[in-house]
Amino acid sequence: MDYQAPSSQRRRCRRPLLLGACVLILLIVVCVCLGVAFGRRAAGPSNDRITGNFTTAIISKCKQFLGDENSSENKCEEVWDAFSKAYVGKDPCEVPMEAYDPLMQTVREKDACNRMLFWSKTKDIVHQFTEAKKCLLTLEDTLLGFVMDGQTWCSEKGSKETFTTGCPSWDKCERNPVRSFWNRASEAFAQAACGEVTAMLNGSISTPFNNNSIFASIEVKKFSGPKMRALNVVLVKTGNDTATCENDSLQTLQRVLNPSLKYTCKEVQRSKILDCISDPDRPCGDCW
């Protein structure tokens, strides 16, 4: 008959076998993980970081905005070229506002006198309003604003590519490509302000006119006459919000505003604006 070792001896024999099996499994897992990691690194940037995809998306949105306007002065390929030259190949924290100057000169926008709507901390309701009512338009309703809204982009020093991930956040560095673009586009939009201009500010916060906002730090500083005649503030309130048109920050707004411009302020309940948005036959003048 076959020899069978005592149970105590069999247990002693199994221990090194089990230990060896565990070590082997651990080595296999480590190798697989390293292989995946190195494989991804060797494959280079993921598809959403490849320039071509972003290029196609931007040109496509540009053409969507222009629609059938074959006579438009704006050519989407030229817009892309001017836009990309502002940041491609540059340190993502060293793209100044001025880098987008050629882009601003490339794009032609129609005059929108008496229809321009600025905003601060009211983006959602403002865009609900302009989508439903065509009487006013925001920066995001212009060609550049429409195309770039919600986009993220950057490059690297010496690179020829555009990246849409791994880019600096808004507050990480002041001269990042996204922040510089919106600052420059906002400046251009404000410089074009003409006639009576509307600004929708948030009455649910303590400082509706915040010095750190784009509206305060850039746009208001570019408002000037005689092309622009007045600034009409709509203070959007919810329920019993305490902010009023007498708010200290709005007093500051009046002081820093170009003295040649007329200033008005009106407190409006958010619910009233939403009711107006939902009624297609209601004229814009009745919304506040």
CA distance 234 to 110: 24
CA distance 41 to 50: 15
Catalytic-residue membership of 113: yes
Structure tokens at 136: 């006013």
CB 189 within 8 A of CB 100: no
CA distance 140 to 127: 8
Catalytic-residue membership of 13: no
Q: State the DSSP H helix or E strand holding residue 262, giving kind and residue range, or none if neither.
A: strand 262-269
Give the strands of the sheet with 117-120, arranged side by side: 117-120, 195-202, 228-237, 262-269
With a CB cutoff of 8 Å and minimum separation 6, the contacts of 164 are: 48, 49, 53, 54, 151, 152, 153
Q: Choose, from 135, 194, 245, 284, the residue flagged as catalytic.
A: 194
Exposed / middle / buried, residue 238 (Cβ in 10 Å: 0-12, 13-18, 19+): exposed
With a CB cutoff of 8 Å and minimum separation 6, the contacts of 61 are: 146, 147
Catalytic residue IDs:
113, 194
